[in-house]
Amino acid sequence: MTQKELHIFYFTGRGESIATKVASLSQHSFIYSKEELIKAGGLKKKVASLFRNNPKTGRAMVFVSATGIAVRVIAPNLKDKATDPAVVVVDDHANFAISLVSGHLGGANELALEIGRITGATPIITTATDIAGLPCIEDLSKRFSFTIEDTRKIKLYNAAILRGEKIRVVDGNKERLASMKGAFAPVKDACLSSPFLFRQKVKTGPDADDLTVIVSTMIHPAGATKKSLLLRPKEFVVGMGCRKGVTIKEVREAFDKTLEEYGISPLSVANFATTEIKSEEKGLLGFARQAGLEIDFIDSQGLWKASEGRVPNKVVIDRTGLPGVAEEAALASSGAKKLWIKKRKFKRVTIAAARIPFTKRPSTS
């Protein structure tokens, strides 16, 4: 079952039963009939609103209709593969499920396969690497929950894969490197070799400018060139403490300064963490919303457990009854045994960070 929001449109009686089946693929499904669309201001208006502010968890649209209807209504809203939601079209006889937009990053290919499984429709997938039976950059990114820093380079790398060129994938994390190799060394067609060469270090020398994928949390990883494609693993939990009434601007400045000082890319932050006492603090909530990240609110028991073996903050204990907030929340949320960034104090904000153990990092596998 997908965690994506599914927004399903149908226009015929036969299409309604198909829409109902498709809705079973997600707990976050919304079905729209003609009448409901009229109430929402029409199909065009509804679709345009869904394209805006596509959530980090991902959103998908399924049209139980002719392909032309879907194409005409989504065309004015299309921007790029990094932000466009997945779009799949199913005819109202469930003969075909067509992955139309955002096949890889948005997950339309996978959704078309799932729709085919539950409706009997034949999935239609036209992305070049899939047809060739080869993995692509987006596959690597999705499997290990990496964020692609510059999606404009995807075409360059996937084109090289289709030409039969080798792409170096460099990652200093031995465990993750082994996991990637195990996941992507095999290919669908046994006659084909993997397009990826997994290495721990960036190659230097005459061919150092060859296409290289670098998995790194560092803003400027060693050996990166203009051609390098940077993949950002979600490795860090940022713990935050703050005074009552703190502003979004204050939180943002503390966050930006801390990550810049330690050379960590903001794209490598998995989530924020703080005490549940701050669950209604507007400055924290607003910043998290702008950053597109969730806040893990830790209860007092979790904070005290994370503080075991550490010297509690007497000032914080006197004020809140807690051993501390930023450091303890980062440890509790990440599952780490030690801090990566010890508490840094700003005027009304404290920041700390812990690195999530590899086995606990998010994965879509």
Burial class from Cβ neighbours inside 10 Å (0-12, 13-18, 19+) for residue 96 reads middle
- The proportion of the chain whose per-residue pLDDT surpasses 70, expressed as a percent, equals 93
User: How confident is the model over 74-90, as pLDDT tens digits?
Assistant: 999 999 888 899 999 99
What angle (nearest 5°) sits at the alpha carbon of residue 45, between those of residues 26 and 70? 65
User: How confident is the model over 141-181, as pLDDT tens digits?
Assistant: 988 989 999 999 999 999 999 998 989 999 999 999 999 98
Mean pLDDT of the 229-233 span: 96
| Lowest mean per-residue pLDDT among 108-112, 204-208, 350-354 | 204-208
Helix residue spans in the chain (DSSP H): 13-23, 34-39, 43-51, 67-74, 108-119, 128-132, 137-143, 154-162, 174-184, 248-262, 282-291, 300-306, 314-320, 326-334
Q: Please name the amino acid found at residue 203.
A: K
The residue ranking higher by pLDDT, 75 or 358, is: 75
Give pTM, 2 decimals: 0.81
The residue ranking higher by pLDDT, 341 or 311, is: 341
16 in Cβ contact with 38 (< 8 Å): no
Mean pLDDT of the 50-54 span: 82
Q: Which two tokens stand for residue 335?
A: 């599952």
Domains annotated for the chain, with CATH where assigned, are 5-126 (3.40.50.11220), 134-233 (3.40.1390.40), 236-360 (3.30.420.180)
Residue 323's closest CA among 303, 352, 297?
303
| Lowest mean per-residue pLDDT among 110-124, 196-210, 250-264 | 196-210
Split at pLDDT 50, 70, 90, the class of 32 is very high
